[in-house]
Copies of this chain bind each other. A is one copy, B any other.
Amino acid sequence: MQSPDNLFECVRAIALAAKAAAPGLAGADLGTRNGALLAAADFLLRDLDKVLAANGEDLAQARSAGMSEAMLDRLRLDAPRVEGMAAALRSLVGLPDPLGGVDEMWTRPNQLRVGRRRIPLGVIGIIYEARPNVSSDAAGLCIKSGNAVILKGGREALQSNRAIVAVMQEGLRHVGLDPAAVSYVPYVEREAVAHLLTLEEAIDLVIPRGGEGLIRFVTEHATMPVIKHYKGVCHIYVHETAEVGMVTPIVLNAKVQRPSVCNAVETLLVDARWPVAHLRAVAEALWNAGVTLHVCAESHVVLGDHAQCVLATDEDWGREYLSLDLAVRIVRDQEAAVAHIRRYGSLHTEAILTSSYAAAERFLAEVDSSTVMVNASTRFADGGELGLGAEIGISTTKLHAFGPMGLRELTTTKFVVYGQGQVRV
């Protein structure tokens, strides 16, 4: 959509409409919110042709603009993908209500009863790039958690996103809720995002989902809170007591199962006292799976010359390959491993592989990444895998949510105080 001259006022009007719709959604009971999700899932399938036609327009334009095949694949919708989006909406229905519960309650000496009650955050802005399924996934999580949402997708997915948002809005209307609780900003200029990020008066939280450039832009411009993660540089530390029978499958899984995602392992730290024969066995397994190892001088001595073995440079430590590459470093001891992680890690996910109770407890205490694991693959750092039911993103910012964010992280608490006439002395 061509941006109007009064772009700021137009963006603000969208945000204020979402804010006005928020209390109605926040006050809706669980049955109503679930009803909106089920209706939206139905309408998504009923309007499949419309959604695919809109996506076809986006694809045609993207193709003529020279978009790469990989990016086109992200943008593409087909019947199975839309069915997956509908199924994701339906799967939210079975999750418990994140709202209304009182986390804790206590009585003061003056008999005031004080509790902390779960409420929605209010209005959430989601700023994302190519994948149109984010429109229904994020809107669904917000509806379930009683939050109004303002979506701002990438320009290349504009028609797809608008078609999906229309369906989500029809779901809201179907149960008597204000459709503006799912709003979309259709202006494609980055200026529209910059405007949105000044509307602290209307937006309680912004979640950017996309590349590092987008995330930095949002962080620098936003006046409201931002939850984000820049990247995932996950480490596995092999302790001297690790069993090779556990190390090989975990490292393989963490690197190879899906190398392009943020919870794949990027650096393997190996204790100098771990038998070198074991390290060779792990390397063989990784080579056989097509992994190139970027190794420190000491591990190069152990592993010798191999086509998939290159000497690491300083740039390999802390690097997010997102590919079949793995940095390997031999470290003196656990202290050196933790120091390496503190220096080069991204606060995402780290794992220790060990048979030692003391080493495990120490690693869990000393490593302050958002997810710290013992004897498990880093690939479990995911809201669904950890049991949160659903995930709107992962945060490596410590405030509010640290690590995978589920429905509960889309809520906050207010203090509720039950008095009988108390005054302060």
**In the complex, A112 has a CB within 8 A of chain B:** yes
Whole-angstrom distance from the CB of A153 to the nearest CB of chain B? 23
Q: Of the 9-residue stretches A88-96, A286-294, A392-400, which lies at the interface with chain B? A: A392-400
Question: With A112-B380, A387-B114 as given contacts, are A368 and B119 in contact (CB-CB < 8 Å)?
Answer: yes
Cβ-defined contact, B371 with A422, below 8 A: no
Collect the chain B residues with CB atoms within 8 Å of residue A422's CB: 375-377, 380
**In the complex, A131 has a CB within 8 A of chain B:** no
How many copies altogether? 2
**In the complex, A49 has a CB within 8 A of chain B:** no
Cβ-defined contact, A381 with B415, below 8 A: yes
Cβ-defined contact, B364 with A421, below 8 A: no
Of chain B, the residue at the smallest CB distance from A200 is B219
Query: Which residues of chain A from 366 to 385 have any CB-CB distance to chain B below 8 Å in the complex?
Result: 366, 368-377, 379-381, 385
**In the complex, A423 has a CB within 8 A of chain B:** yes
Cβ-defined contact, A424 with B372, below 8 A: no
**In the complex, A417 has a CB within 8 A of chain B:** yes
Cβ-defined contact, B404 with A415, below 8 A: yes
Cβ-defined contact, B223 with A373, below 8 A: no
Collect the chain B residues with CB atoms within 8 Å of residue A402's CB: 412-414
Question: With A257-B424, A400-B400 as given contacts, are A122 and B23 in contact (CB-CB < 8 Å)?
Answer: no
Query: Which residues of chain A from 339 to 369 have any CB-CB distance to chain B below 8 Å in the complex?
Result: 342, 360, 364-366, 368-369
Interface of chain A, main secondary structure: mixed
Collect the chain B residues with CB atoms within 8 Å of residue A366's CB: 23, 27
Whole-angstrom distance from the CB of A39 to the nearest CB of chain B? 25
Question: With A122-B368, A375-B420 as given contacts, are A415 and B399 in contact (CB-CB < 8 Å)?
Answer: no
Collect the chain B residues with CB atoms within 8 Å of residue A249's CB: 421, 423
CA distance A371 to B416 in the complex (A): 6
Cβ-defined contact, A114 with B386, below 8 A: yes
Cβ-defined contact, A372 with B404, below 8 A: no
Cβ-defined contact, A387 with B423, below 8 A: no
CA distance A202 to B117 in the complex (A): 33
Chain A interface size band reads 35 or more
Question: With A398-B122, A421-B376 as given contacts, are A371 and B250 in contact (CB-CB < 8 Å)?
Answer: no
CA distance A13 to B97 in the complex (A): 46
Query: Which residues of chain A from 250 to 273 have any CB-CB distance to chain B below 8 Å in the complex?
Result: 250, 252-254, 257
**In the complex, A306 has a CB within 8 A of chain B:** no
Query: Which residues of chain A from 29 to 68 have any CB-CB distance to chain B below 8 Å in the complex?
Result: none
Collect the chain B residues with CB atoms within 8 Å of residue A254's CB: 423
Question: With A375-B419, A386-B415 as given contacts, are A399 and B364 in contact (CB-CB < 8 Å)?
Answer: no
Q: Residues of A with Cβ closer than 8 Å to B?
A: 23, 26-27, 106, 108, 112, 114, 117, 119, 121-122, 200, 204-205, 219-220, 223-227, 246, 249-250, 252-254, 257, 342, 360, 364-366, 368-377, 379-381, 385-387, 397-400, 402-404, 412-424
The contact sample of 17 A-B pairs, CB cut-off 8 A, is A23-B366, A106-B387, A108-B386, A121-B398, A200-B219, A204-B399, A205-B398, A225-B225, A250-B421, A250-B423, A371-B414, A371-B417, A372-B415, A375-B420, A399-B412, A402-B414, A404-B415
> What 7 pairs between A and B have smallest CB-CB spacing?
A376-B419, A253-B423, A400-B400, A379-B424, A373-B417, A375-B419, A225-B399
